[in-house]
A = this chain, B = another copy of it.
Amino acid sequence: MNATTNNAEKFDIYGTRRAKVAEALRARGIAAARFEDFEGTRDTSVRYLCGHPGDAFLIVGADGSSALVAWDRNMADKMASVDKIFSYTDFGRRSTDAMRAVLSDLGVKRGEKVEMPAATPYPRFVDHVAALEEWDLVCEAGGIDDTVLGMRAVKDSGELAIYERACALTDRLIDQLEAGVRAGRLATELDVALFIEREARAAGAEGTGFDTLAAGPRRSFGIHAFPNYGSGPFATQGLSILDFGIVVDGYTTDVTMSFARGPLAPEQRTMIDLVKRAHDIGVAACGPGVAARDVAAAVDAFFAEAGYAMPHALGHGVGLEAHESPGINLRQENGAILAPGNIVTIEPGLYDPRFGGVRWEDDVLITATGARQITASRIVEL
């Protein structure tokens, strides 16, 4: 075992966030919690709580102490802001061995409660319980992961400043994409998708927040086109969809443009008009204290009255991941109330195997007094 102590920026934003986690743990009588970001168990809360970009697990103690067990020690030494760093390789990458060492090092006493990620697979949790019998392992929905997701759903001033830059870049790309398509420079799915990759990274973005979906008229009927983009034509006659997000300092935007090139069938004209009105209804319905379910219901009712139905949720929070809390959907269990600092997508769409699809997605910031659309996506008619 060969741990290093990292005192850099010990009182930075990560320490503040971990202090909140520690407080929540104390309130529930839990001595320490594990957050994990490996292949198959991705959780950007690790980055949120210590700055490390992934392939590691983090233990946060109820006393605010912290330790990171990282696959790439060199990367962790450069990027993680945490009390101690361990190398996973030193434990033969055996999760239970690494965890025992870290919990002992942090002084977590025998018999105390230790929380595992709620995403821990059932057989794996059972194994950990058996191997770490010194402690009382717990794994539950509504636990510390939910606390952190709740924290992440309310952006602080630093995060809002990042979104200001991310949205400005996103909007510039939207304008350039419209201009490029109109001028004929961007004529294939590959053209629009790679234009985004290049321009975003050249402007300093980390990349795209998810696989860009660029679907020309023959493929736009799919909610998520498969493959996500190809070499086929884009923005030719009919309906095309372009769904993308730009990552700045870890945080992603999420917008969808649609391109409609005439002549259009009456059905396509109707779909476009309905989606346009649904977008505005959705944005207008947002505000602090509003039930997220009611926002989704407003758009659902509008579509239903016109005889249409949307096959996906109206929207979702964005942040370190493309899909975060709160969800803007009709699910029975969705009890989310919009709060100042939430950033959510509003993305009504309609799809038809015969006519293709149209979706319009913007990001919306919930403020103390209302809601502000912070991106300027659009349906481009050609």
Contact = CB atoms under 8 A, between A and B. Distances in A.
A179 interface: no
A201 interface: yes
Given A39-B323, A190-B201, A139 B118 contact: no
Nearest to A128: B122
B190 A226 contact: no
Contacts of A132: none
16 contacts: A40-B119, A71-B312, A74-B351, A75-B224, A118-B121, A118-B122, A120-B121, A121-B121, A121-B139, A123-B140, A190-B201, A194-B197, A201-B227, A201-B229, A201-B231, A204-B231
Q: Which 7 A-B pairs have the closest CB atoms?
A: A123-B141, A206-B227, A122-B125, A122-B139, A53-B226, A202-B231, A122-B122
B122 A222 contact: no
A139 B122 CA distance: 7
Nearest to A117: B121
Contacts of A140: 123
Interface residues of A, number: 61
Contacts of A323: 39
Interface string A80-118: 000000000100111000000000000000000000101
Contacts of A311: 71-73, 89
A290 interface: no
Contacts of A141: 123-124, 127
Interface in A298-346: 311-312, 323, 330-332
A224 B72 contact: yes
Number of identical protomers: 2
A221 interface: yes
A359 to B, nearest CB: 13
Nearest to A332: B92
B207 A190 contact: no
A40 B42 CA distance: 8
Contacts of A39: 323
Contacts of A40: 119
A216 interface: no
Contacts of A223: 71-72, 75
A79 interface: yes
A63 interface: no
